[in-house]
Structure 1
């Protein structure tokens, strides 16, 4: 990220046009009109994101539902001044615009927690994601704690929360089931006691 970030507040269309001109290796979100550079990630984080996307893709295939699984890089517009880039997302039904940078109607979003993102993932993004009416599930993966927090918007619009360490998570809609273990990635190395 060599160039300075824009200092003028942006709308989502302005941000998308600006971000298309940036190097593909640089990643940004738009938060309340301000461009925010995303931190570099550790290998563990990257591998867990991969496992999450694979687990969701396999769950979609098993269930035979018409859904598309996205990895990071595809973004979700929260409102006219905020764009988030989840670590993984699922959109069901309808065609996917292959030339768009946005996931038009996500029903599942996933964030993998890293030390620098935990507070934002647990608090701010929780609020942001549930502003989007199509989002029914928000999974927060704590790979080192071997835990997933599953926030689910029920049919009445209320958010139910479960903290899950094993077994399966049912994501309905769209009607898929995913094993918690398949979302967690590599186990942390055992710490030596001296």
Structure 2
């Protein structure tokens, strides 16, 4: 016997179709959709700073940087998320218009309402992406960045960065000061 789907269940195809027309963004997790809330000035500034720095860094390398409006598709979790910043260097992603499946770097700027989910279930889903090397969580309240990095054995390790630190994102061979990330915040 097959269990009934939730009364709020929406198919992946219906989600993608509706999302193209929707005036607000929604994340999708295994048949359920969740509206995205607006972001604070600090949140947008931090994400924008990182996007600009990374965009300049990867220019001409074949890698692409996306900010806020591009979905990451985690096929094995049947989920679509909108990372604050995402980098993909995989040629297969060039064929995908509305989402990316092969990112090497995903960044989330934390907010009080999303921090537990970003650190918990969303990270659990992101770990299923074989191409993902680094998952970065950035505080908007304090100069602090947590970089989860998958090592050669497939084990996730954590590197903290705080004031005075030089941030090192190995997935894209990128370095910058934490102060540059928080400029104008």
Please report the TM-score for the alignment, with normalisation by the length of structure 1: 0.82
In 2, the alpha carbon distance for the partners of 1:186 and 1:117 equals 23
Alpha-carbon distance in 1 for matches of 2:105, 2:16: 22
Q: Which moved more, 1:7-16 or 1:164-173?
A: 7-16
Counterpart secondary structure, 1:56: helix
Other structure's SS at 1:144 match: coil
Secondary structure at the aligned position of 1:73 is classed as: coil
- In the alignment, the residues of structure 1 paired with residue 54 and residue 69 of structure 2 have an alpha-carbon distance, to the nearest angstrom, of 16
Q: 1:110 to 1:147 in 2, by over 3 A?
A: same
Q: Is the 8 A contact 1:56 1:178 kept in 2?
A: no
Q: Distance in 2 between matches of 1:82 and 1:150?
A: 22
Residue 163 of structure 1 aligns to a residue in which SS?
A: strand
> Match for residue 114 of structure 1?
111
Task: Please give the residue correspondences for 1:54-73 in structure 2 after superposition, counting only pairs within 5 Å.
Answer: 54-61=52-59, 65-73=61-69
What is the alpha-carbon distance in structure 2 between the residues aligned to residue 76 and residue 99 of structure 1?
Answer: 11
Map of 1:14 onto structure 2: 14
**What is the alpha-carbon root mean square deviation over aligned residues?**
2.2
Count of aligned pairs: 178
Q: CA deviation at 1:122?
A: 1.7
Assess if the C-alpha contact under 8 Å between 1:70 and 1:88 holds in 2: yes
Name the CA distance, whole Å, in 1 between partners of 2:148 and 2:57.
Answer: 18
SS at 1:169 equivalent: strand
* Higher share of residues assigned helix: 2
CA gap of 1:174–1:41, structure 2 versus 1, over 3 A, is closer
2:105/2:171 contact within 8 Å kept: no
Mapping of residues 1-194 of structure 1, within 5 Å: 8-23=8-23, 26-61=24-59, 65-79=61-75, 81-94=78-91, 96-97=93-94, 100-165=97-162, 166-187=164-185
TM-score for the superposition, normalised by structure 2: 0.85
Cα deviation, residue 179, structure 1: 2.8
Gaps of 5+ in 1: 1-6, 188-194
